[in-house]
Structure 1
């Protein structure tokens, strides 16, 4: 095993000593060495720029030997001394998930969708809405989905909201199905809009974001428009519609429920379920819960959390998902209100 493998398709065996690592790369090593709860708390304190640097580092590193861990993280010498290498191949998705827990899916989905390079699509996004609508008028839904997925969510929703309902449905459905789009397809689309601008040099394709990008976009639509879009989407692809509905509201979004609504929700879920769900929750979520129950109940809940032993991540996520489903049901029944990112309510 190399001391530290750096992603390079032409030199898969190349290595870099710990002393040559950048600050963000060392920070990434530190984070992936921590327990998830500790890493989440650290991420919550970082600025957007620091998160961008970590994101970039996660695409550059693949693995680190115990020796490198000892150099970079002397305080974790015991962990490294066991001879267990730290794999960084999944660090990008791990960092994305932790950041979502720490700062909220809405903020992170938008931050993660930012592009580091400027190209024809970026230039297209700078035009006024009417001009862009005219350019896209005759384009296929798939092409528009790829383009809007790369736009700032505010710009994308402005465009989408001015399109016919049936076209909105087709575009969102295709956007939800997107994942990595081949570089050749991206280049073809970019050449179509700006022949004079060379295609981007990336030959591996581009991660469009798929479901997250679609959810980030329609979160900004009005409640009526969102529900109408999901209903139409359900007629075409019920599975995609349900996945998109779930992506619109995560456990961390519970902070968007007002005080009265939180009290209504807490009456519908069991204490056991709540304790497990709060195991990896952010401080904001915990404070939201504690602030909407009696002082005595809050003290008891805190005691149960402290006494709770290790819990499988899958069990925590299942408990959180169940509570989210309950909240969504209450919202559909108009019993609680969940604030939207751009104002209004979730449906």
Structure 2
């Protein structure tokens, strides 16, 4: 599927700056947020939580956002890409965009606004290494398109990838669905992440609409798939989804991943790939799924490898990112990983 003449992958998602804290369980309880999930917060609630945590704890600041983390992984591995995002005209917005510029990503569609601040996320790592998030979307809720802009922005790209977090707000949701329609009309591969149990629970109707005839590859972890389908067995989970979804990628943390690749020819049997997780010393699971998706898509669309090779490489990349604090692999880590892709083949 590699296409050297294409611009690579176009990612859609919230532009966020992460503030990562290591916390105790009781601190999550004081904040009143559900462990292991993402909770949306207004500016006042976010500021109160940040101030409370910052009194006693140190934080690590990084660019974030689920799809943006995947895009950074894809680009640092050597892939090409772009994005349509919106940031405030503030220091956080400049901090976020500079990382994209440094990777020569196409951000011609990126917007600046004086109306609201750049989106921010409290990424809270508990002693069991699980991640819990409180997100203030800020200006991200104003992301929208002009007529015909989606097709223009997607021109030359081979793949579009989005997070389901886009479905949580009216304008980003409409933007995502317009992009998906434009991608389908241009025969661009469409990839979507379920993103979080909260999205599966509270945005189910919108998620069903996004999945209806529009998605080629769907990413998610076991809990997200289970909550969406109401099924527990993998066979039943996979059977729940319509045939237009060509590939279902289900990750299970330390239990590895299972990928169902459906065959276009009904005479051929679907391919079920189960792979163990890469060995890793878990420090922080933030960004594991994002990194997995970015590495998986890079292996397929930039390098033309099989789904099985891509899945093994993605597991190795995710194993690397969970071995340190922060949701993203460094450029050096990505370069160290690249030879493994050829070794896996």
Could you say which TM-score interval applies, normalised by the shorter chain?
under 0.3
Q: Which has the higher contact order (CA 8 A, sep 6+)?
A: 2
TM-score (norm 2): 0.27
Structure having the larger proportion of residues in helix: 1
Structure having the larger proportion of residues in strand: 2
- Which has the higher Rg, Structure 1 or Structure 2? 1
TM-score (norm 1): 0.27
